[in-house]
Chain A
C-alpha cells in the first residue's frame, strides 16, 4: 500500500515585512458634523476618533491591497516569485465573486500562488496570520502574503450617525516566511456565533448595522481571556510585551483592555483609531506600521495583536516585529 508523503516543515515562521496604504482623503469630525447630527466632542468621547481616511473612487480594494502588499514585499526583501500563498482578509467586497486575492497576487507579479479571500470580519487579519503561520510551519508554503483591506464606507449607511462616524478605509499587509526562531506565536482564536447578528449586513441590505452596546460589552468582558491565552500559549507574560496592538474598534475598548492587562508606560499602545477610524481587517497592520513609523515600536519588539468583530470572531497572537 502506498503512503501519503508530507512536506518538510519549518521550526517557525516570522513576519519579514509590513506595509500599509492609507487613502488620500482625510475626513475630520467637523466635516461630518456639517452633514449629520453629530459633533467633535460627541465622537471623541464615544469612540476616540479625531479623523479617518475615506477612499476615493480610484482607491479600490484591489488598488489599496496591491499598494500595501507591494510595500510589505519590498520591506521583506523577497522577490514576488518567492511567495506562494496569498490570503486576503476583507469583509467589504460589494462584488463577492470572485474573491480578489488571486487578482491582487497577479498584480503584484506573484506567479500562480494559492490565493483566497478570508472573511472573519475585523478579526480577518489575525485569522489570516494564523493560517499563514501554519502553512509555512507545515511546509505547505514557503512564503506568504497576508493582506487586510477594507472600504467600509461602501457598506456604511452615511445617514446612520452611530456607524458613519466610526467606519473607514485602508489596507495593511505582512509578508511571512520560515524562521528557525518562531516570530509568530500560536493563535488564540474562536467565535461566539450566538451573537451573529450583532454586526451584520442583513440579507438583501447593502449596509452594515451594529449593536454597539452588545459589542462593547462583549469586547470589554470576553476578550481579556483571549489576550491572556495568546500570551500563555506563546510562553510570555504581559511584562514581556513591548507593543499592544488590538483591533482599533473604539479607543475606550483599547484603554479598557490596556488597563485589564496591566500594561504600563513601557508598553507602546496602538491608538491609530484616533487618526484612522475603524478599518476592520486592516486595522492591526495599519496600527503596527503607524507605531513603527513614529518610532514607538521598533524592529525586534514583541507585540500582542488581537482582531475581533463580526461573527462574532476573535483571534490574537504574540508576534516579533520585523
Chain B
C-alpha cells in the first residue's frame, strides 16, 4: 500500500501530466482551482487518472468536495483497497 509520500508524488505526476503543474508546487495546502489553475474538466481527468494509478474511484459528488491537494491525498488514503 502506497505511503502518504508515494500518494503525494503520484498525484504530482498526474497534475503535471493533466494540467502542466510543476511537481514541486503540488503540496497539500494548494487549492486546485485557486492556486494551481486546474479547471473543472481537468479535475475529471485527475479523477480518472487517480482511478488508473491508485485503483480509487472518485465519483462526481465526492469530486466536488475535493478542493486541495491534501483533500485528494486523504481521499485516496482513506479509500484505497
Contacts and interface: CB of A to CB of B under 8 A. Distances in A.
A252 B41 contact: yes
Contacts of B40: 212-213
Nearest to B47: A217
Contacts of A45: 39
B39 A46 contact: yes
B39 A216 contact: no
Contacts of B63: 213
Contacts of A220: 44-45, 48
B60 interface: yes
Interface in B27-65: 39-41, 43-45, 47-48, 60, 63
B43 A213 contact: yes
A36 interface: no
B42 to A, nearest CB: 9
A221 interface: yes
A211 interface: yes
Interface string A290-306: 00000000000000000
Nearest to B45: A220
Contacts of A217: 44, 47-48, 60
Interface in A204-225: 211-214, 216-217, 220-221
A252 B60 CA distance: 19
Nearest to A218: B44
Chain A, interface size: which category?
A: 10 to 19
B18 to A, nearest CB: 11
Nearest to B37: A45
B57 to A, nearest CB: 11
A217 B63 CA distance: 12
A252 B44 CA distance: 12
B81 to A, nearest CB: 20
B60 A46 contact: no
A252 to B, nearest CB: 6
A213 B48 contact: no
A216 B40 CA distance: 10
A252 B41 CA distance: 9
Contacts of B48: 217, 220-221
A211 to B, nearest CB: 7
Nearest to A47: B41
Nearest to A253: B41
B39 A213 contact: no
Nearest to B51: A221
A41 to B, nearest CB: 11
Interface of A: 45-46, 211-214, 216-217, 220-221, 250, 252, 256
List 6 tightest A-B contacts by C-beta distance, closest first.
A217-B44, A216-B44, A213-B44, A216-B41, A214-B60, A213-B60
Given A212-B40, A216-B44, A220-B45, 18 more contacts: A45-B39, A46-B39, A46-B41, A211-B60, A213-B41, A213-B43, A213-B44, A213-B60, A213-B63, A214-B60, A217-B44, A217-B47, A217-B60, A220-B44, A220-B48, A250-B41, A252-B41, A256-B45
11 contacts: A45-B39, A46-B41, A211-B60, A212-B41, A213-B41, A213-B63, A214-B60, A216-B44, A217-B44, A217-B47, A220-B45
